[in-house]
Structure 1
Amino acid sequence: MGHPKDLHDIFENIVNTTEDFYLVCDRTGRILFVNLAMQDFLGLTSNDFDSCRISSIYNVIIDADHIKLAKLLDKISSNSSFQETLMFQKKNLIRAPLEISIRESAGNLYIHGNKYIAHLHRLQSKYNTEIKNAYRIYQRSLPDSLPTTETIQFAAYYRPAEDIGGDIYDVFKVNHGMLNDFFEQYVVFVCDVTGHGLDSAMLSLFAKETIQSYFDHKHFEGQTLSPKEILQYFVQEYLKEGYPEDYFVCMLLAVFDLKNEEFIYSSAGFQNPPLLIQHTTANLGIEELNCGGMPISSALDEIIMNYPEHVRSISPGMTFLFTTDGMPEQSVAGELYDSRMKQAFLTHAKENPDLIAEHLSNDFLAFSKLEKITDDITLVIAQLPLKE
């Protein structure tokens, strides 16, 4: 352990190597120490202070700020810290505002500033504005309402882990133009991308726009609808964009074909199986449909990203639950929500989809309590009502 003089030299060397500004004074404003960065900011040298030409902090701020500083020095205490912006008078008569923080210790006042702080504040303000704008764009990309007819009804619940999320979903009826009388098909699209920040939200928007572009440019009236073909189209468009290899997209794309009484779907890395409850069976239970597969990523060879298509017959009295991994994998005291989610779904499956979504979201929030929600929460419910 060094002597006090040694420690003093060490600390002075440390504070003189930083770009932050430090000035130490007593309660009268008499300057005790000024580090090199502060000297450069003021356009002064150590000789200016050693000669006592500059002896007080009041000598380096403009006259109009003297009262402001005096009041600040008077009210500072050992258990408080204040931030204020003062206008400093440089040697070359240039005035420069500097945001400083002041803290008292052992009767001395430690003043700290940074010439970049104002720039950092501007950057932070700009970033916050961009996040708000991105949030508005992202929110507008989510459907305002979902289809509801006598033959099929949909509902959804979405909650991002942060301001904007990495999950996205959509439900829409396929337009067959003049052949609409011969078709009644509904697409359910649920997507979960890497992370849940701004870049994830932008990737989610790309996913939704790409699926929509398939129906705008690739699908024709009366054409057979294949979830597998749509996923392959997405893979090709995704690889063209050259996204980083550490980005992953997990996607479930399904079609309810009511005329043919079929549910057709493909899954790319979607690890949470769609859940199905059939109200007309004697033993009411949950059926887990096959899913999985490799996620979509530029780190994988395109030939590996080949997703099978599954077909399941459907009939009135069925309720489906689609969810990303955020809800079932939320953990509290080592317990996952997954089993409780299934029980809640089983309990309320005969109610209409809006009520089911409300019950599940309320139960999830009761389960997670004050725990931080670690991932985006997205669920979509589809129900084929029993005919009266």
Structure 2
Amino acid sequence: MMESSLDIKDLQLNALLEITQAVNNNLPEDDLLKIYKFTLLADLKINKLALFTEKNEEWHCRVNFGTKNDLIGSTLPEEYKELKNQLGLIETSFDEFNSVFPVYHKNKLLSVVFIDSDSKLGIQNRFLNALTNIILVAIENKRLARQQMEQEAYRRELEIAKKVQNFLFPKELPKIERLQIEAFYLPHHDVGGDYYDYIQIDENKFLACIADVSGKGVPAALLMSNFQASLRALVRQTKDLKEIIEELNHTTFVSGNAENFITFFAGIYDFKTKVLEYINCGHNEIILKTDDGIQLLNDGTTVLGMFDPLPFIETLQIKNLDEFFLFTYTDGLTETFNEEDEAFEFDRLLEIVKGDCPQDLSEFHNQILGLLNAFKGSRAFHDDITMLSCRIQNK
């Protein structure tokens, strides 16, 4: 009897050493489970076992031996997902097993293990429980470490994207008597897919634009940074707005793999001729306010990046413009929802713009944002919000 007990202790010690060495060697999860299986077979003389673990909220068998049917990949019956954390074995009628025990770590169920247990081997079974706990906790710690590394990598990626996006927006916007431009940007995430710009073309002309890329987060920000670089390069090469749009569309089509698209509005104003040339590429309704009333700038072409070449394209000119107010925005503004699931919508925005606009365009943006916050109540914004306003006094 003593020799038998010593043999068991030797086997347990060998098993513990093998498992500990495997954990210390930082082996992959699958390799740890293989060593666990062979250790049980060789050192502990376990005849039947099925170990179930959870991944992506689904429980499947990861280790199995000794049974008539192969259980690898089979799902865990629902009633065993609620096993309480306790020492010792629990009786079960699951297939060819008569005992089951849960493996917990910090109140989290890591595994459910079925065995065909001999009640005379109580000490052996408790050791099996402890050994399983060691291997499963090691696997859980590896998962948490991997998750932490992925989060850290994403955080660094996000910081880079934020820095890149900060370079997208102009450092300064004109605020002189004949030209005032003001912008507001509120990303839904730390980075977003909205973009606005002001580009001085020559002493008489400037370009103002706003854009919204499909999608959110880092991919959208990176696509938009490529778009901005292309736009600024093209403006240095040509003042032809139609040609600029055709090239932007081609660049977006290639870089977005025809899977992402960009809505875009651009206007070029000439102080000398008093002409505003614009194009709307599938963007929201842009509001032009003059002494004669409101005009909506909707025409031009479809979204950029979906077709190459564009199925149709037209730039439009509005002449004899010496004083006007241009308001541009992205759909995160009009698609803000309140607690009754109603959208803010364009008509509410139009009524605001029809009213008296403050001389301070920043104050005007704050006014809109205040109304938007009051409208949404406790609801969160679900998209990036961007506004770009332009006031011209060219007399």
Q: How many residues are aligned here?
A: 308
Look up the equivalent residue of 1:345 and give its one-letter code: V
Partner of 2:369: 361
Query: Matches of 2:118 and 2:143 in 1, distance apart?
Result: 25
Partner of 1:342: 350
Partner of 1:145: 172
| Counterpart selection for 1:266 from 265, 279, 283 | 279
Which ranges of structure 2 fall in alignment gaps of 5 or more residues? 1-49, 54-58, 64-75, 91-99
* Matched position secondary structure for 1:331: coil
By how many angstroms is 1:117 displaced? 3.2
Partner of 1:207: 227
Partner of 2:122: 52
Question: Relative to structure 1, is the Cα distance of residues 251 and 89 closer, same or farther in structure 2, using a 3 angstrom cutoff?
Answer: closer
Query: Matches of 2:328 and 2:382 in 1, distance apart?
Result: 19
The Cα RMSD (Å) is 3.7
The C-alpha deviation readout for 1:269-321, integer Å capped at 9, x for no partner, is 22x2221222x45xxx42212325211224x24151x4211111254431110
Look up the equivalent residue of 1:238 and give its one-letter code: T
Partner of 1:275: 287
Determine whether 1:173 maps to 2:200.
yes
By how many angstroms is 1:265 displaced? 1.0
Partner of 1:64: none
Look up the equivalent residue of 1:234 and give its one-letter code: L
| Counterpart selection for 1:327 from 303, 326, 333 | 333
For the 8 Å contact 2:83–2:102, the answer to whether it is kept is no
Higher helix share: 2
Question: Relative to structure 1, is the Cα distance of residues 120 and 31 closer, same or farther in structure 2, using a 3 angstrom cutoff?
Answer: farther
Determine whether 1:244 maps to 2:257.
yes
By how many angstroms is 1:45 displaced? 11
Query: Taking structure 2 as the reference length, what is the TM-score of the superposition?
Result: 0.66
By how many angstroms is 1:262 displaced? 1.0
Question: Relative to structure 1, is the Cα distance of residues 49 and 153 closer, same or farther in structure 2, using a 3 angstrom cutoff?
Answer: farther
Determine whether 1:309 maps to 2:315.
yes
By how many angstroms is 1:25 displaced? 7.4
The C-alpha deviation readout for 1:236-271, integer Å capped at 9, x for no partner, is 333444x3333111111211111111111122222x
Look up the equivalent residue of 2:152 and give its one-letter code: S
Look up the equivalent residue of 2:167 and give its one-letter code: R
Look up the equivalent residue of 2:242 and give its one-letter code: K
Identity of aligned residues (%): 18
Question: Relative to structure 1, is the Cα distance of residues 204 and 314 closer, same or farther in structure 2, using a 3 angstrom cutoff?
Answer: farther
For the 8 Å contact 2:51–2:62, the answer to whether it is kept is no
Query: Matches of 1:254 and 1:125 in 2, distance apart?
Result: 41
For the 8 Å contact 1:277–1:286, the answer to whether it is kept is yes
Query: Matches of 1:58 and 1:125 in 2, distance apart?
Result: 36
Question: Relative to structure 1, is the Cα distance of residues 26 and 142 closer, same or farther in structure 2, using a 3 angstrom cutoff?
Answer: closer
For the 8 Å contact 1:231–1:253, the answer to whether it is kept is no
Question: Relative to structure 1, is the Cα distance of residues 301 and 19 closer, same or farther in structure 2, using a 3 angstrom cutoff?
Answer: same
Query: Taking structure 1 as the reference length, what is the TM-score of the superposition?
Result: 0.68
Look up the equivalent residue of 2:389 and give its one-letter code: I
By how many angstroms is 1:152 displaced? 0.8
Query: Matches of 1:375 and 1:385 in 2, distance apart?
Result: 33
By how many angstroms is 1:206 displaced? 1.1
Query: Matches of 2:84 and 2:368 in 1, distance apart?
Result: 61
Which ranges of structure 1 fall in alignment gaps of 5 or more residues? 1-11, 62-86, 91-95, 100-112, 177-182, 220-224
Question: Relative to structure 1, is the Cα distance of residues 379 and 49 closer, same or farther in structure 2, using a 3 angstrom cutoff?
Answer: farther
Query: Matches of 2:83 and 2:228 in 1, distance apart?
Result: 57
Question: Relative to structure 1, is the Cα distance of residues 229 and 89 closer, same or farther in structure 2, using a 3 angstrom cutoff?
Answer: closer
For the 8 Å contact 1:345–1:356, the answer to whether it is kept is no
By how many angstroms is 1:352 displaced? 2.9
Partner of 1:180: none
Query: Matches of 1:297 and 1:369 in 2, distance apart?
Result: 36
By how many angstroms is 1:208 displaced? 0.6
Query: Matches of 1:295 and 1:49 in 2, distance apart?
Result: 71
Partner of 1:107: none
For the 8 Å contact 1:277–1:349, the answer to whether it is kept is no
For the 8 Å contact 1:48–1:54, the answer to whether it is kept is no
